[in-house]
Amino acid sequence: MSFELNEKRYLEELEKELAIDSVTGQYHELQDYLVKEIEALGFKTSTLHKGGIIADIGGEGNPLLITAHGDTIGMMVRHINDDGTIKVCKVGGLYAYHSERENVRVHTRSGKVITGCVQRKNASVHVTENELNEEVADFDKNSFVVLDEDVKSADDVRKLGIEIGDYVAIEPRYTFSNGYIKSHFVDDKALVAVLMELLHAVKDGSVKLSRKVYIYISFYEEIGHGGANVPSDVKDYLAVDIACIGPEQTSSERKVSVFCKDSRFPYNLDMIRELEEAGRKSGADYVPDIFTPHYGTDADPALVAGFDIRHAAIGPGTRASHGYERTHIDGIKNTYKLMAEYVTM
């Protein structure tokens, strides 16, 4: 059977999620939005004390947990400089060269949002050409947030309500062109939106679950402990995340990858075989791939935490991971097809 994703609804959902800043730890607004949307579809949710959403979406026996993460990489205010610029530190695997010249939003404790951008200390080619060309972008040395405010001192910045520890989020710059999805944070909001499509399909009966299925949206994947919470009856754990494209990768933007291994562990061989069978049955265009040396998913921490489960992962090929990322709607559709088939087998 072939399962088809509702492209229009999917893209609308993705754009809504991308518009909500959710740097790791800054989960409240996106969690509240997703809880409201999931419960509007008729599914009960529970939230983790640390942040995270679990929904039991039905089915009986042999429980499966499917996860995607709603947190993103970003920054935090590290120091307020005497000249009114802001030194930041990264949250998760963000590199300064991926954020340079990007617009940002500083979220103050009071809830006020102040805009700015990331620039070099010596940013003008007309004045400091050598420094700009020769220096590597570095949050500790030469890359700062410049606020869209008339500030000339640290006191001026603090009067706006900005303080050490405030979150700084990059604007996603989402666009959809000729089938290509381009944005910061395709990882992993593109896959959270895929899980929302699965919920629509379960509700309308186009996907009939052959087993009990939980959906888990985590908010700490980017720092390594998002997936460590598992309902006690879960037997299998499926992470849905991006498949990174590179010189020795088989992953493609228009295909879904079945992960064989990442930088931590091999994935469960029996689940890999089952997922490949689901790919063949559904007609999904899939490839196997291995992701080393710097990649892991939320399925890994569950094993480290000691749960006796099988784990696996799938996802669409995605370029420029942790930068301005790009995938294709075909890769999204193939991911959905394979996942929908798997929960009905």
85-107 per-position pLDDT tens digit: 999 999 999 999 999 999 999 99
Q: How far apart are CA 150 and CA 153, in angstroms?
A: 10
Question: Tokens standing for 191?
Answer: 């896959």
Average pLDDT, the chain: 96
- The sign one gets for the Cα dihedral 159, 163, 166, 170 is positive
Q: 106 with 168: CB under 8 angstroms? A: yes
Q: Which domains does the chain have, with CATH numbers?
A: 7-72+185-342 (3.40.630.10), 74-170 (2.40.30.40)
User: Span 311-335, mean pLDDT?
Assistant: 98
Tell me what pLDDT residue 1 has.
Answer: 65
pLDDT at 285: 98
* Residue given tokens 């888990």 in the structure block: 216
Q: Catalytic amino acids? A: 221
pLDDT digit string, tens, across residues 210-266: 999 999 999 999 999 999 989 999 999 999 999 999 999 999 999 999 999 999 999
Per-residue pLDDT at 132 exceeds 70: no
Whole-number pLDDT of residue 122: 82
Q: Is the pLDDT of residue 188 over 70?
A: yes
Confidence check: pLDDT of 12 > 70: yes
Residue 127 pLDDT level (bands cut at 50, 70, 90)? confident
Q: What does the pLDDT look like over 256-274, one tens digit per residue?
A: 999 999 999 999 999 999 9
